[in-house]
Every structure is written in C-alpha cells, then in structure tokens.
Amino acid sequence: MPIEGDLKSLNLSSVLQLISQERLTGVLKIKKRSNLVDIGFSEGKITGAFYERGDKSERLETYLVKSGLLGRNVYAMVEEIHNETKRPIMNIILEDKYLTLAEVERIIKFKIQEVFDEIFTWEEGAFKFEQSSAIYPRSIIKIRMDTEGLILESARRFDEWPRIRNTIPSGDVVYRKVERPELKLKPPEDEARALSLLDGHRSVDDLVEISGLGKFHTYSCLYRLLSTGQIEVSYAKPTPKKRRPRKQISLRFLRIPVGILVIITILIIEFLIGNFLSGRLPDLNLIDTEFYESDFKSYQKVFFYKNNRIPSVHEVKSIFEK
C-alpha cells in the first residue's frame, strides 16, 4: 500500500508510527512550498534526516565547524587532504581521529531531532514514502534511532514551544548577562554554553547558528536563564526591510492596436506609391471646383478676403467655365 498524502488530512505522527510499526525501509519525503525534508528508515528505525530550506541546505561538516566542534584551520586541512586523496571528508575526520565516532553520532542524532522539531510545526505539506530507497547510501556511519522515542520527544517540545516563544518573541533580541553573585548558581552544561556566548551583541538567531545546540534547545536554555534572572534583554537588532520589487508595466495590450496601425500605414503608402506610378495622384487643389460651382456665395466670401472687394457673378462664373 503506497504511503502518500497531505499533512492536512493525516498528521505526521500517524505517518511515522505507521512506518515504524510496519518496519519499513525507505525514505519519507515531505515538501512544504520550497522546503524539503527527507527522513531515512531501515526496518522502521530512523537512519538520517536532511532538511533543505529553499536553495539552502547545511552539510554536517559545515555544522561541525560552525558549532566549534571542529576548528576552521583543522577543517581547511581536512579539505586539502580530501582534494589530494579524494577520500570522503567524513572518512578523513573519523579515520584520522579529528573527532571520534561517538562524537559524530551524537551530532547526527541531535541534527535529526532538530529536523523533527521543525516539521512537527508544519500544518501542511505533501508527503510520500519511497520504499527501498536510502538517504545516505555510502555513509560509513550507521545511525539507528527509535522512531517512537523521537515522536514523543518532538511532541513534548512542540507543547513547550508556545510558552518559550511567548517569552522570547523574536530571534532579533539581544540578551546580556546579569551579574548576581549572591545567587551562586551553577547552570547545566548547555545553559552554561549559551551563557558564555552572550557578548551583548549576539542576537538569539546568532546564538542558534553558533551554539551547536539547535534552535529549540538554544531558545529553551535562554528561557531558563531568563527565568532564573541570569540574563536580561539588552536590545533588539533592527531587521532590514526588504525592498518591494517594482511592478513592471506590461505593454502586451498594445500589440494588437500597434499591429493594426502598422498594417494601415503600409496600405496607405502602397496606395500612394501605386497612384504615383500610374499618374493618378489625387487632386490636391486647394479650391474644390465642384463645391464652388454649386455655391457661388461661399466663393464670393473667399474672393472678398483675398482681393478686398466683392466679385461679380460674371467673375465667379468665368472661373468655373474655363
């Protein structure tokens, strides 16, 4: 039975539970507008997750550097080895012992949970399960995570998220430390890391990028630090306004009228040229004799303005009789 549909009609938890209970192997693809998520399964266990935001995606190696687990200089050296030997970058990191397998597996599991935190907030999106597919077929790291456990943890975080967002409404907010030696608090490791990164200039979004804790856990740590009075709001970074693209005025509606005008102009030119070549140009005399032959009085007025006197009837008739 194919597994595909829309999250509006079938929630994500039900889809994941079905794959887990049936012990299926393949890749669940979920798409919401320009966002794409791939989740790998092996016999109902989760093997990996990939999240592409529009045209942006984050490789694991990039995250290791950004979070500080792998130094930039070390990563530059790893890239040089990769370019010379063509060995996969992750193989170099593990085989040359820049990081241990346990450290890398912990980061991968953390990133999988981060993807789940995101998609559990989606209320719409099309999904399709492709059986027998593999998300990272050549990876040397074999991850197996319990699907039910991930669902429960994501649901718990989803319930906590509104309360956290109510306290930290924007990623543009900048917090600063509050020196309160009388409290003598010793925050847990993750909170201590978030606290150490506060320099009075980094926003919440900046901390999410560099903390290595992920979005939910970074917000959660800041929420607890705020609750215990260890940090306070400093200011909010101004968000640059996006310029609205100028509307382009379409001139397509002029195509037909202009086309007709061009055709008429061509026909008039052809008519004049044809008459010129045949010697039958239209009479361009300024005085229409047929008109004045039927109306002497009109010509008398013209004659008066031209000669400052009224012509006789004979003078008028003599012009038309020539």
pLDDT digits (tens, 9 = 90+) for 28-54: 999 998 899 999 999 999 999 988 887
Q: Are residues 207 and 274 in the same domain?
A: no
Domain boundary among 136, 160, 184: 160
What does the pLDDT read at residue 284?
A: 42
pLDDT digits (tens, 9 = 90+) for 81-100: 999 999 988 889 999 999 99
Question: How much of the chain, in percent, has pLDDT values that exceed 90?
Answer: 31
Q: For residue 279, is pLDDT > 60?
A: no
Q: Model-level pTM?
A: 0.63
Q: Are residues 65 and 185 in the same domain?
A: no
Q: Are residues 191 and 146 in the same domain?
A: no
Q: Are residues 156 and 203 in the same domain?
A: no
pLDDT digits (tens, 9 = 90+) for 248-258: 555 565 666 66
Q: Are residues 150 and 290 in the same domain?
A: no
Q: Are residues 149 and 205 in the same domain?
A: no
The pLDDT of 106-116, averaged and rounded, is 88
What does the pLDDT read at residue 25?
A: 94
Q: Which range, of 33-37, 63-67, 100-104, 115-119, averages the lowest pLDDT?
A: 63-67
**Containing structural domain, residue 185:** 168-236
What does the pLDDT read at residue 147?
A: 93
Q: Are residues 56 and 185 in the same domain?
A: no
The three-state secondary structure class of 297 is helix
Q: Please, what is the average pLDDT of the chain?
A: 80
Domain boundary among 135, 160, 185: 160
pLDDT digits (tens, 9 = 90+) for 240-250: 555 555 555 55
The pLDDT of 160-165, averaged and rounded, is 92
What does the pLDDT read at residue 213?
A: 81
User: 236 near 170, Cβ under 8 Å?
Assistant: yes
Domain-embedded: residue 253:
no
Domain boundary among 236, 252, 274: 236
The tally of domains found in the chain comes to 3
Q: Are residues 20 and 117 in the same domain?
A: yes
Q: Are residues 54 and 13 in the same domain?
A: yes
pLDDT digits (tens, 9 = 90+) for 198-218: 988 899 999 988 887 888 889
Q: For residue 13, is pLDDT > 70?
A: yes
Q: Are residues 151 and 181 in the same domain?
A: no
Q: Are residues 9 and 156 in the same domain?
A: yes
Question: How much of the chain, in percent, has pLDDT values that exceed 70?
Answer: 73
Q: For residue 288, is pLDDT > 50?
A: no
Q: Are residues 32 and 139 in the same domain?
A: yes
Domain-embedded: residue 99:
yes
The pLDDT of 220-239, averaged and rounded, is 86
pLDDT digits (tens, 9 = 90+) for 255-268: 666 667 777 777 77
